[in-house]
């Protein structure tokens, strides 16, 4: 009899899991339960449609519903899984009753942290998540004159940029001193803030949200520094693991609140796997678990969970977290530790920085690229990287994450070869120059 | 909320604020607000300096005693072993 696998959640992790199952054993019965109208679209693309860089939400869909039918993946839309019983191996689905499984994959994703202030029930508070709601909110944006983005998380940074591109008077309220301050360093974010000023964005850092004000809809936000009149508030608080279903079933969670998993994405309950934002994954350098990574992490974790749930064998690795996004007129990115996070952990480091260019200096479209590398004093093994520039940030972040994973040193990077071709790369690769700068700095210290 | 989650959440939050203050001074950037109230005073003026005074191996050991995914099985990163081209085919080694 075919193995029956239930997947709870239809995001990147859930659909990755379903695909992983079918890749191992096409005869497996896979049922995916999602609380939404759709699966297989890119929620990460939503800010770019709001900002008009992408002309249609349709472009965000990756596959049709029929494609999953054809692949033998049974997706139940608008389906709420209300309970998981690990001992009886059943899930309870609203309107369907109990559904049995041989293996279960929880890919329940995240919830935005509650801002925890009065007025949270008002209209006009936008939580960016579901594409159908985003389509409706996009119509609202046509009527909005001013908006506030609450917290400069990665999504917040993207939404500030998107609203400003759209010509909306945009405010950003954040309790920290600079944007994405939990990840990025101030020298990396300074050009972003400058470009926001050019776009007309008003930033309110070191400012705490106190309340949403209004009768039925938000009309203003009260902050520690005064009131800001707005027509809309976009809530971009940090992502908390949506773990309620699994916790109620007795699954163990770690210090982040994410499900504890191993390299097979197996949870503490036999036959139950988990993937994506509802889990926590150890950082490859420090061993400290992290929760709330990127869509590409969620998808790869889902694949791993699905393959193992179907009887295959795949191991996921500890993470070195390459990251990046568009912010204002710049691209920012990095991998593993920055100066702020290394300092918070108390990890000593030396720094090498370089201000370089993305193409030959004479080639049209050449853009600045700033690279900052952190390395362990003495061995000069790479600990992290942060960058800001006009292009080529993503590729460098991906490469530097692998360099950290394999223990490369600043000496290795200072002598690395690089592509030189005027249209795509400069003679002096900024990574090489930054690494040499770090080597020189370590000799002086 | 479990104690480990409460401790991690607070320690992470306030150690980041403390680090932002130090990094802001180094870069001439905007500093976070100074502590207000007993709670912030404890975490920023007592916990953070004590944490920093402990040697990294001890801090790391304490962190890793917390419950979490790191205490389950994770493969070590793969390492390259020699050249992908067999030595007999490599010209500079056959000379």
pLDDT at residue number A314: 97
Distance CA B40, CA B35 (A): 5
Interchain contact, A187 vs B27, CB within 8 Å: yes
The shortest C-alpha distance from B88 to chain A (Å) reads 25
Cβ proximity of A91 and A1 under 8 Å: no
Residue by residue, DSSP assigns A246-288 as HHHTT--B-TTSSEE--TT-B-SSTTEEE-GGGEEEEBTTT--
Query: Would you say residue B91 has pLDDT above 70?
Result: no
Among B15, B27, B61, B68, the residue to mutate for chain A (most A Cβ within 10 A): B68
Interchain contact, A255 vs B22, CB within 8 Å: no
- Identify all chain A residues contacting B17, using CB atoms and an 8 Å cutoff: 176
Nearest to B20 among A176, A289, A348 (CB): A176
Query: Would you say residue B95 has pLDDT above 90?
Result: no
Distance CA A418, CA A354 (A): 15
pLDDT at residue number B90: 67
pLDDT at residue number A414: 98
pLDDT at residue number A62: 87
Contacts with B, A 325-384, CB within 8 Å: 339-341, 343-348
Pairing of strands A272-274, A330-336: unpaired
Q: What is the ipTM score, two decimals?
A: 0.94
Q: Order the strands of the A220-223 sheet from edge to edge.
A: A209-213, A220-223, A226-229
Query: Would you say residue B77 has pLDDT above 90?
Result: no
Interchain contact, A287 vs B69, CB within 8 Å: no
- Identify all chain B residues contacting A340, using CB atoms and an 8 Å cutoff: 16, 19-20, 23
Model pTM?
0.94
Distance CA B31, CA A51 (A): 31
Among B7, B20, B69, the residue to mutate for chain A (most A Cβ within 10 A): B69
Query: Would you say residue B86 has pLDDT above 90?
Result: no
The shortest C-alpha distance from A344 to chain B (Å) reads 5
Helix (H, G, I), strand (E, B) or coil at A7: strand
Interchain contact, A186 vs B23, CB within 8 Å: yes
pLDDT (tens, 9 = 90+) of chain A, 445 residues, equals: 799 999 999 999 999 999 999 999 999 999 999 999 999 889 999 999 999 999 999 999 988 899 999 999 999 999 999 999 999 999 999 999 999 999 999 999 999 999 999 999 999 999 999 999 999 999 999 999 999 999 999 999 999 999 999 999 999 999 999 999 999 999 999 999 999 999 999 999 999 999 999 999 999 999 999 999 999 999 999 999 999 999 999 999 999 999 999 999 999 999 999 999 999 999 999 999 999 999 999 999 999 999 999 999 999 999 999 999 999 999 999 999 999 999 999 999 999 999 999 999 999 999 999 999 999 999 999 999 999 999 999 999 999 999 999 999 999 999 999 999 999 999 999 999 999 999 999 998 7
Distance CA A94, CA A264 (A): 30
Nearest to A257 among B5, B59, B72 (CB): B5
pLDDT at residue number B78: 65
pLDDT at residue number B2: 87
Nearest CA in chain B to A287: B70
pLDDT at residue number B92: 63
Cβ proximity of A354 and A434 under 8 Å: yes
Query: Would you say residue B94 has pLDDT above 60?
Result: no
pLDDT at residue number A40: 80
Residue B1 confidence class, pLDDT cut points 50, 70, 90: low
Interchain contact, A347 vs B7, CB within 8 Å: no
Cβ proximity of A391 and A358 under 8 Å: yes
The tens digit of pLDDT for each residue in B25-70 reads 999 999 999 999 999 999 999 999 999 999 989 999 999 999 999 9
Nearest to B68 among A255, A263, A346 (CB): A255
């Amino acid at each position: 009899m075919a193995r029956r696998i239930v997947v709870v959640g239809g995001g990147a992790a859930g659909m990755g899991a379903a695909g992983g199952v079918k890749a191992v054993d096409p005869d497996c019965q896979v049922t995916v339960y999602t609380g939404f109208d759709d699966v297989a679209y890119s929620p990460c693309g939503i800010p770019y449609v709001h900002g008009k860089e992408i002309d249609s939400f349709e472009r965000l869909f990756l596959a049709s519903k029929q494609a999953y039918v054809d692949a033998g993946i049974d997706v139940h839309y608008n389906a709420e899984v209300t309970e998981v019983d690990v001992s009886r191996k059943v899930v309870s689905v609203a309107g369907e009753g109990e559904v049995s499984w041989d293996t279960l994959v929880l890919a329940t994703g995240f919830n935005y942290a509650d801002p925890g202030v009065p007025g949270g029930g008002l209209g006009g508070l936008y939580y960016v998540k579901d594409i159908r709601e985003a389509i409706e909110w996009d119509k609202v944006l046509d009527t909005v004159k001013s908006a506030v983005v609450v917290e400069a998380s990665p999504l917040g940074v993207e939404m500030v940029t998107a609203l400003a591109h759209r010509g909306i008077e945009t405010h950003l309220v954040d309790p920290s001193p600079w944007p994405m301050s939990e990840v990025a360093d101030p020298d990396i974010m300074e050009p972003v803030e400058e470009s926001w000023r050019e776009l007309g964005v008003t930033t309110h850092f070191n400012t705490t949200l106190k309340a949403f004000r209004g009768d039925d809809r938000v009309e203003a936000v009260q902050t520690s520094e005064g009131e800001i009149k707005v027509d809309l508030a976009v809530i971009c608080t940090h992502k908390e693991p949506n773990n309620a279903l699994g916790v109620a079933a007795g699954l163990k969670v770690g210090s982040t609140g994410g499900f504890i998993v191993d390299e097979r994405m197996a949870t503490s309950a036999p036959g139950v796997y988990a993937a994506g934002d509802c889990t926590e994954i150890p950082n490859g350098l420090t061993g400290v678990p992290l929760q709330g990574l990127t869509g590409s992490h969620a998808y790869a974790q889902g694949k791993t969970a699905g393959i193992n749930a179907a009887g295959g064998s795949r191991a996921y690795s500890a993470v070195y977290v390459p990251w990046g996004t568009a912010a204002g007129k710049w691209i920012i990115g990095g991998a593993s530790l920055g100066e702020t996070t290394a300092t918070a952990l108390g990890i000593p480091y030396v720094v090498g920085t370089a201000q370089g260019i993305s193409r030959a200096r004479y080639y049209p479209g050449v853009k600045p690229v700033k690279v900052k590398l952190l390395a362990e004093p003495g061995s000069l093994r790479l600990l992290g990287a942060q960058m800001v520039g006009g292009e080529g940030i993503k590729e460098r972040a991906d490469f530097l994450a692998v360099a950290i994973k394999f223990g490369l040193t600043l000496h290795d990077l200072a002598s690395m070869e690089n592509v030189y071709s005027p249209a795509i790369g400069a003679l002096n690769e900024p990574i090489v120059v930054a690494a040499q700068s770090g080597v020189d700095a370590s000799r002086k210290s | 909320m479990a104690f480990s989650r409460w401790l991690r959440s607070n320690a992470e939050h306030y150690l980041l604020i403390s680090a932002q203050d130090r990094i802001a001074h180094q870069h001439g950037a905007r500093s976070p607000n100074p502590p207000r109230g007993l709670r912030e005073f404890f975490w920023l003026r007592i916990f953070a300096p004590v944490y920093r005074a402990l040697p990294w191996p001890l801090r790391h050991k304490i962190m890793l005693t917390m419950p979490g995914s790191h205490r389950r099985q994770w493969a070590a990163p793969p390492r390259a072993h020699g050249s992908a081209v067999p030595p007999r085919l490599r010209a500079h080694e056959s000379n």
